[in-house]
Amino acid sequence: MIRTFLAFFILISNVILAQNTLNLIPYPQKVQTLQGEFAIPDIFILSGELPKEETEYFKKRTGSQLEFQYAQKGEDIHLIHSVIPPVSAADAEEKKEYYALEISPKQIHIKSYTRQGYFLALQTLIQIIDQYKDTKKIPVMKIEDQPKFAWRGMHLDVCRHFFTVDEVKQYIDYLAMYKLNTFHWHLTDDQGWRIEIKKYPKLTQIGSKRKESMIGAYVDNTFDGKPYGPYFYTQEDIKDVVKYAHERHITVVPEIEMPGHALAALAAYPELACTKGPFEPATKWGVFDDVFCPKDETFTFLENVLDEVMQLFPSKYIHIGGDECPKTRWKECTHCQELIKKNNLKDEHGLQSYFIHRIEKYVNSKGRKIIGWDEILEGGLAPNAAVMSWTGVNGGIEAAKSKHFAVMTPGAYCYFDHYQGDPQSEPNAFGGFTPLDKVYAYNPIPSELNAEQAQYIMGVQANLWTEYILDFKHVQYMIFPRLMALSEVGWGTSDPKKYKEFENRVISQFKVLDNMQVNYAKSIYNIIGKVVPANNGIAYELSTSQNSKGIRYTLDGTNPTINSKTYQNAVQIPNSLTIKSAYFEEGQLKSAVSAQEFTVSKTTGKNITLEQQPNENYSFGGAFTLVDGIIGNVKQLGKTWLGFQGKDVLATIDLGKKTAFTEVYFNTLENKGSWIHLAKSAKIFISDDNTNFKLIKEIGTAEIQDAHGKIKVNVGTQNAKYLKVTIENAGIIPAGNPGADSKAWLFVDEIGIN
């Protein structure tokens, strides 16, 4: 594996590291700065032996800053390249992305084993030239570098919303700039089929359009009433994109969803379903019961589709989805039940495994391998399959322990459709809260794996689902600057302890994005608020990537001005109020105005423990989120809610002393399209010793539903030191609902008493 070669780079040496001077992303494994400078010439002379396509790319990227000319006989050459001969085929594979970049006073010399290594060296050189373009003097240095992980990927969903060939090419360019090497193209789903299959023309004639689209927050359940499509890529488009990516040493991995997320295909060919239909491409987001039926004609169809896909995409892996496949139709289908009995399968999960095994066998027969989301583990993993672990890290752990390769892409760190800043000042997003520093802190190798098992972690990938992303400017906003953090994580040089230093390098890269007219998120400049326990209550800490002396705030709900209070220390929150804050520089407003409303009760800031922890995707702030004085926004799942999948909430609050109260309140959410269900029931207990608890109130399903999850109950006059609230998860999602037979989500916000 690539990682074994890195030991050389992380040895302590006497070189001077340029971490504080070079604005490189991802930062190289080893940088040595020496005495002297290379003066950038007016005409940059290139060796005539340089790899052509990569060099033309370099010229295009730096053409606004440099004038190029290939060397004539006797001229001094400014850029040369040497090929390092590998000692074996294994050595060549191990070091295919290795490069050495030596900048001397007279010349820049790149050494690599492959053209891919040369291309990666050019990305580093482009960033160096950009940094020193004003002085035109580059420090003399030596860089030795190669990535830690072989798979460094970005995903793009073009089914919920479509993006043109030119926009996809721009996306690929962003990956190349920051040394990512895999583009995962999500081409089919319930809401649209986006790839031309010549044998089945109705896939694009019918499946590439829908009658309307959902708009706004999911809970609003509103639609735009506008036909969407037909939008799809012709096979010539596909070839063009694959060629474009290949020239940038990026592998395109196509995804053809199965057995679920199939409504667009079933709309075109309803005979492939368990029921007769009719079907239409989905207009809502979420998960739907109608999926591919595992009958012979379905497998014939999918094999024919995959034949054309594999002719278009030379990638070793073909992504077959495998996620979020409800078993409702299979349970009701006579053919499926007979198939389960015939093959001695345990249940419908076994049938999912049968489906994936059969597809894998066919793909393997064509010399390829399958990769799928971690639900392909259901019922047993196919022999040669790789796993893309998205629901958390457990899928990757299970795969690696069974000697299957895995790509880590857990939603908590790698879903770029989540909010990256304060949800109140960000464009509408799917949910979750994944800021830049959280992405940067991710370690793709789970601590549960030993060194041998860790070899099966191929790398890391971020995913961009586009339910709420209507255009390419919004795509840019969601991936930048988080793509830079992912880049350094995949390269293996991220260090959460040096996040501020990384943040400075990110800000330096904004100039590059400005020149490219990229609409990146500026959340990094905005005020970050954090609730902390203080004086038996709470305080609100404010911070920014800039000088904190520039922060101004108000407590009366008005927008701050340069004359508002200057932030110095955490602001005490003694009662219910709204704090607004912003960053000013030289008298000018430089950030968005952040607003946070607090609802203070007798539980606010008190010590709280949870017997079961929330899912890592929705765990921001931990248990303290339930007593931080913030009521969750029903349209924004990021930051202010805790999410539990298949688990109950069992919370105990230490009030510090015996406290009188008559009312208890908390909220739960309902968003069935996202598998979020109201609580089934709740119980409220009190105690004076945290051991012996007395039940004082029980809340049933009907009461919770009547209140739409906004629970506020009179419990009579109580006086206790401990409050315990148990909130029961809805359990397994019943048939007829999205995600049927899966574990329901329970979302809970503040638990308060008055």
- Which residues are designated catalytic? 324
Give Cβ neighbours of residue 703 (< 8 Å, ≥ 6 apart). 711
Element containing residue 702 per DSSP (H, E): helix 701-706
3-class DSSP state of 588: strand
In whole angstroms, what is the distance from residue 660 CA to residue 733 CA?
38
3-state secondary structure 524-552: HHCCEEEEEEECCEEEEEEECCCCHHHEE
Give Cβ neighbours of residue 11 (< 8 Å, ≥ 6 apart). none
In whole angstroms, what is the distance from residue 395 CA to residue 621 CA?
24
> Taking a C-beta distance cutoff of 8 angstroms, is the pair 684, 664 a contact?
yes
Element containing residue 330 per DSSP (H, E): helix 328-332
> Taking a C-beta distance cutoff of 8 angstroms, is the pair 231, 194 a contact?
yes
Q: Which residues of 200-231 are buried (b: 16+ CB within 10 A; e: fewer)?
A: beebbebbbbbeebbeebbeeeeeeeeebbbb
> Taking a C-beta distance cutoff of 8 angstroms, is the pair 28, 6 a contact?
no
644, 666, 641, 611: which is closest to 746 by C-alpha? 644
Q: How many CA atoms lie within 13 A of 358 on its CB side?
A: 17
- Helices 115-131 and 499-515: crossing angle in degrees, nearest 10, is 90
Beta bridge partners of 141: 33, 103
DSSP 492-528: T---GGGHHHHHHHHHHHHHHHHHTT-----GGGS-E
In whole angstroms, what is the distance from residue 4 CA to residue 94 CA?
9
Please report, for residues 9, 42, 48, 81, 673, the alpha-carbon distance to residue 52 in angstroms, rounded to integers and kept in the order given. 30, 22, 9, 11, 51
In whole angstroms, what is the distance from residue 445 CA to residue 456 CA?
9
Residue 357 main-chain phi, psi, to 5 deg: -60, -45
Give Cβ neighbours of residue 261 (< 8 Å, ≥ 6 apart). 188, 189, 190, 287, 288, 291, 321, 323, 324, 325
3-class DSSP state of 239: helix
In whole angstroms, what is the distance from residue 275 CA to residue 687 CA?
55
301, 31, 248, 271: which is closest to 141 by C-alpha? 31
Beta bridge partners of 210: 228
Q: Are strands 649-667 and 752-753 parallel, antiparallel or unpaired?
A: antiparallel
Task: Provide the phi-psi class of 582: left if phi over 0, else alpha when psi is between -120 and 50, else beta.
Answer: beta
E-assigned strands of 20-75? 30-39, 43-46, 67-70
